[in-house]
Amino acid sequence: MPFMNAESPDSHLIALIDRVALADESALRELYELTSSKLYGVAVRVVSNRSWAEDVLQEAFLNIWRIAGDYKATLSPPMAWMCLIVRSRGLDFLRRRTSERADAGLELDDVLSDTVEGDSPNPMDTALAGEQAWALHQCLSQLDNKQREVVSLAYMRDLSHGELAEQLKLPLGTVKTWIRRGLEQLRGCMARFA
């Protein structure tokens, strides 16, 4: 198993978050250096625009700076906690844009449109992934590329079946079937890691 030794990346990240909670800027800097590539990747995925994603990353780190003290109260692994903050800020960003500009909802990005269309596997990245993410990685690897992509997009962008179908230009029934089968397979697979 990766990361089981005492000086695991997780415990290092947790120590940094604890220091950030005490308003230690150098700890925030180190946290940024270690995680910004991963977290920027998350932001790009959610908002699908590099410059917006930089705004999201910035907001997320300011958020982490302000609420690092709350980390203790959560049971999440540190990367999962930070990724969730980035995703939340990203979704907020999209909601704000949608409410500011009614026509902004469908600025489709090329990042998105080539993922499900093509057969490229859109490789997952296990750098910095915690143990649970490794398990999920194993299970997601067993899905069809398309199923995996739709599940991943649904989660990252908080999209309904209908919104996915619209964004991916796929029939609603197809989306529903891919998601249902994807989740069924994940359920069976993840049960082995429980």
Partner 1 sequence: MNLTRNPALVEQLAASYALGTLRGGARRRFEALARTHASVRAAALIWQGRMASVAELQQQAAPSPAVWKRIENLVNADKQARAMQAARQAPAATGGWWASLGLWRGATAAGAMAAVVAVVTGLNLNTALNGQVEQLSARLAATPEIRYVAVLADDKSAPSVLVTYDPKHSQLQLKHVGQFHPSPDKSLQLWALPQAGGPRSLGVLGDGTVVRLPAGSDAVNQVPALAISLEPKGGVPAGSGPSGPVLFKGALLQTTL
* Residues engaged in binding partner 1 (CB under 8 A): 22-23, 25, 28-29, 32, 36-38, 40-42, 44-45, 50, 53-54, 57-58, 61-62, 65-67, 70, 73-74, 76, 79-80, 83-88, 122-130, 132-133, 135-137, 140, 151-152, 154-156, 158-161, 179, 183-184, 186-187, 190, 194
Q: How far is the CB of 176 from partner 1 (least distance, A)?
A: 9
> Closer to partner 1 at the Cβ: 137 or 169?
137
Q: How far is the CB of 106 from partner 1 (least distance, A)?
A: 19
CA distance 91 to 75: 23
Q: Does residue 79 contact residue 41 with C-beta atoms inside 8 Å?
A: no
Tokens of 117: 């269309």
> Closer to partner 1 at the Cβ: 38 or 97?
38
Q: How far is the CB of 47 from partner 1 (least distance, A)?
A: 12
Tokens of 63: 């958020």
> Closer to partner 1 at the Cβ: 108 or 121?
121
Give, in order, the Cα–Cα distances in Å from 146 to each of 41, 121, 132, 178: 20, 8, 22, 8
CA distance 47 to 51: 9
> Please, is 53 exposed, middle or buried when counting C-beta atoms within 10 Å of its C-beta (0-12, 13-18, 19+)?
buried
> Closer to partner 1 at the Cβ: 74 or 101?
74
